[in-house]
Structure 1
Amino acid sequence: MFFIGIFGVDNKQKEIKVLNNVHCRNCDKGLGGKLIKTFNFFHFFFIPLFRWNEKYYVLCSSCNSIYEINKEKGKRIERGEDVEVTYWDLKPIETESNKEDYLVETRCKHCGEVVEPKFEYCPYCGTKIK
């Protein structure tokens, strides 16, 4: 967040919708995922005036892989249109440093419990996470 007196520039992440039947490119399960929108905005007294750099991502609910999708397709889903997200629409986010910028919860692949990203072993079942 950057402030200039009563003005500021900030970034935000917003969960748009839970998508069903999205087939993950990593785990190849059709369990679905979350559509997440990220954007930067300029505000005056915490009232957003305009946005830029809008991007849409799908977060797999099974393995927490993150994929970027086309901006136009993301906007159509956000407007409530019935749009199918296919395997070919999902563009993987490659680097670990990029993944830390998004709403990612780490889940144990063995028991499915949510664990902190810094854990190497699951505190619930003892399985190695990384």
Structure 2
Amino acid sequence: MFFIGIFGVQNKTEKIHTKTAVICPVCEVYGRYEIVKSYAYFHIFFIPVWRWNKRYFIQTHCCSRICELSQGLGEQIEAGESIEIEKEHILCSDSPRIRICPKCSARTEPSYQYCPHCGTRLDF
């Protein structure tokens, strides 16, 4: 945050939609995800005046990934349209931060091929 007297620049993140009981577009496991909007804004007397750098993300709960959505698709979802998100709509980094076992929900390292708690093969 950059703040000078009565005006400043800040970043903000808002949850705009939660989708439950769906197949995750990242790991293809039954779960839920949230659509999140992130942007920077200029404010005077803590009232937002100008926004820029608007970006949309999908945050999955089954595989703990955060992937970027296209601008147009994010705006459609924010407007209230019901859209199914597919793998083609998202941009993810190649390495996941953490893996979650689909059978026992244990958190594992990204390099593990099998869950150390129940032995289930981690295919994603």
Give TM-score scaled by structure 1 length.
0.69
- Which residue in the other structure is 1:82 paired with? 82
Residue 48 (structure 1) aligned with residue 37 (structure 2): no
Q: Distance in 2 between matches of 1:18 and 1:107?
A: 21
Q: Going by fraction, where is strand more abundant, 1 or 2?
A: 2
C-alpha displacement at 1:64, in angstroms?
Answer: 1.1
Residue 19 (structure 1) aligned with residue 7 (structure 2): no
Higher radius of gyration, 1 or 2 = 2
- Which residue in the other structure is 1:121 paired with? none
C-alpha displacement at 1:30, in angstroms?
Answer: 3.5
Q: Check the 8 A contact 1:22/1:33 in 2, yes or no.
A: no
Q: Distance in 2 between matches of 1:10 and 1:22?
A: 34
Residue-pair matches, total: 107
Ranges in structure 1 where 5+ consecutive residues have no aligned partner:
100-105, 116-126
Q: Distance in 1 between matches of 2:53 and 2:59?
A: 19
Percent of counterpart pairs with the same letter?
33
Cα shift readout 1:52-91 (whole Å, capped 9, x = no counterpart):
0000000111111111010111011001012221111111
RMSD: 2.7
Q: Distance in 2 between matches of 1:95 and 1:29?
A: 18
Q: 1:111 to 1:23 in 2, by over 3 A?
A: closer
C-alpha displacement at 1:4, in angstroms?
Answer: 1.8
Equivalent position SS for 2:73: helix
Write out the 4+ residue segments of structure 1 that deviate beyond 3 Å after TM superposition: 93-96, 106-113
Ranges in structure 2 where 5+ consecutive residues have no aligned partner:
108-116, 118-124
Q: Check the 8 A contact 1:17/1:35 in 2, yes or no.
A: yes
